[in-house]
Amino acid sequence: MEKGKYFEQLSRKEQCFLNFIDRMGNIPPRIEVVLEQTSEALSLVCPELGIGKVELTLDSPANKLYPNGLSGRRMLFSNGIVDVFHPYVQRFVTEEGGELIVEFYKKEATTTSEEEDFWMAMIARMLYLFLGRARISSMLRMSMEVDQGTGLPNVAEYLRRMAELIERGVIMDYAACFFNIRNFQYINKLVNYQSGDEVMSQYANKAAALMKSDEVLARLGGDNYVALVKKPNLEAFLDALDVLTVDVAVHSGVRTVSLPARVGIYEIDRQQIHPGEVMLNISVAQQICREGKGRTRVYYSQEMSQEVLYEKKVSLDFNKALEEGQFRAYYQPKVDLSNGRLCGAEALARWERKGEVLLPGRFVPMLEKDGAICRLDFEMLRQACEMIATWIAKGLTPFVISINMSRWHLREANFVNEVCKVLEEYHVDPKWIEIEVTETVDYEEYQTMINVLTTLQEKGFSTAIDDFGSGYSSLTMLHKMDVDVIKLDQGFIWEQTDKGNIMVRNLIRMAKELGIKVLAEGVETVEQRDFLTESGCDMAQGFLYAMPLKKEEFERRAFS
């Protein structure tokens, strides 16, 4: 402050007080610095005011913004007096419901004058204001580092701590983890939303208790957490996470629920690494863990990143490739086992990409992830219809072509209409198209599937259950659904054990009694064919007869 003529006219005490405010107002609002500076400033003012000792007690309770609270008593100024004379005490209630107490002690055993009381009150009030500013600004800082729901560090703080470990050259001592609680939705169903938050905070506390002092646990948001764990502690940490439980209050009392997590782990193997790259690697591993059924831990490897990059590329390239006609239907003949004649075909997608022919295994799973598969299915349907239309135009009797339809279509209310529209466009009768779907374990999906398949049949399509016997619901499906064909999964035929043979024989018999035709997939040997024929299987498809063929090759075989 510019101390001009007016300042000179003030009393000594007023000048002291203004100097005090001046000093305090110019320091960064950090509690420790404020206290230090206050001590210094008080040592200038107190002698002037006849004050021998100033003590401060701060009781700031722990809260979400300030997990450890801030409490304690400290001496701000003392001129060495031991005797305590007439304390002058000022109490303040702080914003977070705590208390700030400032106590002044006179230098001598005289009572204070009104004027002195006034100055002490002013100093105490200023202290309260400066400390308030410091507390609020440190809470703000904290709120930028701390997750509000749990009091754990947040992701920004996690990355900062990681950067620090990299800087210190010790990052290779650590493994980074990314974990997601497996059944947290279940908790939210069990209790209301607010108690869900409490359970989350209970989980966070228990997980935090597993950490050593030089390790870090942070919450990303939702039920996702990240950690930095010393490599020697890693296995123990993961084992403990596996069996972590929380107590949930429900109507009937308290229930202990175990909340295992799916964890992606990256054992940091480079000194020079960017925190962002560590984050990326653990998310990749976690994503793979999430997709792999039943797996609870996945350790990151370089190939995983390449795989993920490849998947990204596939989904980025897909739309353009589809428009450019890079996807082609290949047709694998189906054979009537009673006479060995070709009796239809299955359309299987092939991606002709830069002179390479990619099999569905290289792109179907990725397209299945976001539903892009639906567009591919319709493309196959169109190509098949176009082919059938040319046969009809040439006066040939068409073969039934089956199309694989992803379960994603079941979510589309308009699905059957869309299929019919394509057929109308090409003037193809639905009797020449068979729709293949795979089994499902999801009950709702299963109900929709029954409806969709029934409607398709009513419209004149043939319907088939693909990969029959590879899932869990096969028999239930037969019981509830009217389908025309079941396609026995390759696995059945490959495993030619006594038990397997009994099952195949009886499945075929049962299907026949239910009026369903049976096709065996993946038939590769004469022995398999003979066994199937003897068992009464209607049709077969497999390398023994033909690979999936280009359209021209299929037509050559079909009509010669």
- Residue 188, both tokens: 């939210």
CB of 45 or CB of 486, closer to ligand C2E:
486
Helix H or strand E segment including 159: helix 155-167
- Give the Cα-Cα-Cα angle 489, 493, 497 (nearest 5 degrees): 130
Q: Taking CB under 6 A as the rule, does residue 387 contact ligand C2E?
A: no
Q: Taking CB under 6 A as the rule, does residue 263 contact ligand C2E?
A: no
Identify the residue among 116, 223, 439, 467 touching Mg ion (CB under 5 A).
467
| 260 interacts with, out of ligand C2E, Mg ion, none, CB within 5 to 8 A per kind | none
534: three-class secondary structure by DSSP: helix
Identify the residue among 154, 283, 286, 404 touching Mg ion (CB under 5 A).
404
CB of 116 or CB of 521, closer to Mg ion:
521
Identify the residue among 466, 484, 538, 555 touching Mg ion (CB under 5 A).
466
Tell me how far, at minimum, the Cβ of 200 lies from ligand C2E, in Å.
38
Pick out residues in 438-477 that bind ligand C2E (CB under 6 A): 466-467
Q: Taking CB under 5 A as the rule, does residue 150 contact Mg ion?
A: no
- Give the Cα-Cα-Cα angle 235, 236, 242 (nearest 5 degrees): 90
Pick out residues in 505-534 that bind ligand C2E (CB under 6 A): 521-524
Q: Taking CB under 5 A as the rule, does residue 436 contact Mg ion?
A: yes
Tell me how far, at minimum, the Cβ of 406 lies from ligand C2E, in Å.
4
- Residue 237, both tokens: 């940490």
Identify the residue among 150, 404, 440, 462 touching ligand C2E (CB under 6 A).
404
Rounded distance between C-alpha atoms, residue 40 and residue 19, angstroms? 12
Q: Taking CB under 6 A as the rule, does residue 332 contact ligand C2E?
A: yes
Tell me how far, at minimum, the Cβ of 543 lies from ligand C2E, in Å.
4
The string of DSSP letters for 239-274 reads HHHHT-EEEEEETTEEEEEE--EEEEEEE---SS--
Write the CB contacts of 30 (distance below 8 Å, at least 6 apart in sequence): 134, 137, 138
Write the CB contacts of 493 (distance below 8 Å, at least 6 apart in sequence): 504, 520, 521, 522, 523, 528, 532
Write the CB contacts of 105 (distance below 8 Å, at least 6 apart in sequence): 51, 52, 53, 54, 55, 81, 84, 85, 86, 87, 88
Tell me how far, at minimum, the Cβ of 246 lies from ligand C2E, in Å.
40
Pick the stretch among 107-115, 151-159, 249-257, 542-550 that binds ligand C2E (CB under 6 A): 542-550
Other Cβ atoms closer than 10 A to 385? 22
Residues 297-326: x where in contact with ligand C2E by CB under 6 A, - otherwise, as a string: ------------------------------
- Residue 98, both tokens: 């705590």
Identify the residue among 39, 78, 202, 406 touching ligand C2E (CB under 6 A).
406
Q: Which residues of the shown chain bind ligand C2E in the complex (CB under 6 A)?
A: 332, 348-349, 359-361, 364, 373, 376-377, 380, 404, 406, 466-467, 490, 521-524, 541-543, 548
